[in-house]
Amino acid sequence: MNIILLGPPGAGKGTQARVLVERDGMVQLSTGDMLRAAVAAGTEVGKRAKAVMDAGNLVTDEIVIGIISDRLDEPDVKGGAIFDGFPRTLAQADALGDLLAAKGMSLDKVVEMRCDDEELVTRVIGRFTCSGCGEGYHDTFKPPKVEGECDKCDANGFVRRPDDNEDAMRNRLFVYYKETSPLIGYYYAKDNLAMVDGTAAIDEVTAQIAQALKN
Ligand code: AP5
Ligand code: MG
């Protein structure tokens, strides 16, 4: 099964994708994570993307479509892909449809994760991630069980994203409404869309996604 998790910054796309990876053995395809890896590695793509990402704007369609196209050629995606943060524009959505058709794959469901803007800002500003395994946490909503230690691995360092500040986050929300929210209508028209309440507790959102994927 191949699905898209569609939602604004902080909606919980990454959090829920990690549950699906652990529970169902699917593969998480997060263009944000791939771009951050390119920035950390200092590649040409990373150099082009860094300032754009830090300001909360979108990198070019050409870059992200190229990244996804390459990633879809790897064998692990055959077990099911979760698109997290891609597509984000109508051009990316069209390109994804063409790529999947060319590779003999299909898109089974698009899950829209709906959330309240002020909650999203609170979530993103409180977010941090394990530098060892990437497990996501939140100062208030999901602190580690033992302060300063990851629940999932032996590492005890955490990182915060440079774009997780209020200015960049407000711009990310603006960009979401302008460029990405039209995809809700796009997939509704293709009869692929399901909506979940992204403001519910993490486990409840997981249950709603499971239900949506059964229908
Ligand atoms: P990307 O990395 O995709 O960031 P984003 O879309 O802004 O989304 P986030 O990762 O911030 O949020 P999330 O929905 O994953 O939430 P999370 O689960 O972490 O993109 C970053 C940048 O890369 C973009 O701005 C752009 O520059 C570039 N980019 C990426 N893809 C691109 C593309 N396709 N085209 C062009 N440019 C692209 O949860 C957030 C926090 O809330 C966590 O702390 C979590 O613990 C907590 N939380 C989660 N769920 C709940 C819940 N139900 N209740 C309470 N707390 C919760
Ligand atoms: Mg994410």
160 is catalytic: no
Q: Which two tokens stand for residue 123?
A: 């979530």
Question: Does the structure show a pLDDT above 90 at 215?
Answer: no
Tell me, in angstroms, the distance from the centre of ligand 1 to residue 133's CA: 17
Torsion angle (degrees, nearest 10) of CA 74, 43, 41, 129: -70
- Ligand 1 neighbours by CB, cut-off 6 Å: 7, 9-15, 31-32, 35, 52-53, 56-59, 64, 85-86, 88, 92, 123-124, 127, 136-138, 141-142, 163, 172, 200-202, 205
- If pLDDT is split at 50, 70 and 90, which confidence band does 42 have? very high
Render pLDDT for 104-163 as a digit per residue (tens, 0 to 9): 999 999 999 999 999 999 999 999 999 999 999 999 999 999 999 999 999 879 999 999
Which atom of ligand 1 lies closest to the CA of 168?
25
Q: Is the peptide bond before 87 cis (omega within 30 degrees of 0)?
A: yes
Give pLDDT, residue 156. Answer: 78
Give pLDDT, residue 86. Answer: 98
Q: Which two tokens stand for residue 158?
A: 């955490």
Give pLDDT, residue 155. Answer: 87
Q: Which two tokens stand for residue 130?
A: 């394990």
Q: Which two tokens stand for residue 163?
A: 């774009």
- Asked if 149 and 143 touch (Cβ cutoff 8 Å), the reply is no
Among the bound ligands, name the one nearest to the CA of residue 11: 1
Rounded distance, CA 64 to CA 30, Å?
A: 10
Which atom of ligand 1 lies closest to the CA of 204?
53
Residue bearing the CA closest to ligand 1, atom 12: 10
Render pLDDT for 161-212 as a digit per residue (tens, 0 to 9): 999 999 999 999 999 999 999 999 999 999 999 999 999 999 999 999 999 9
65: helix, coil or strand?
helix
Residue 144, amino acid:
P
Q: What are phi and psi of 125, to 5 degrees?
A: -70, -25
Q: Which two tokens stand for residue 80?
A: 């099911």
136: left (phi over 0), alpha (psi -120 to 50) or beta: beta
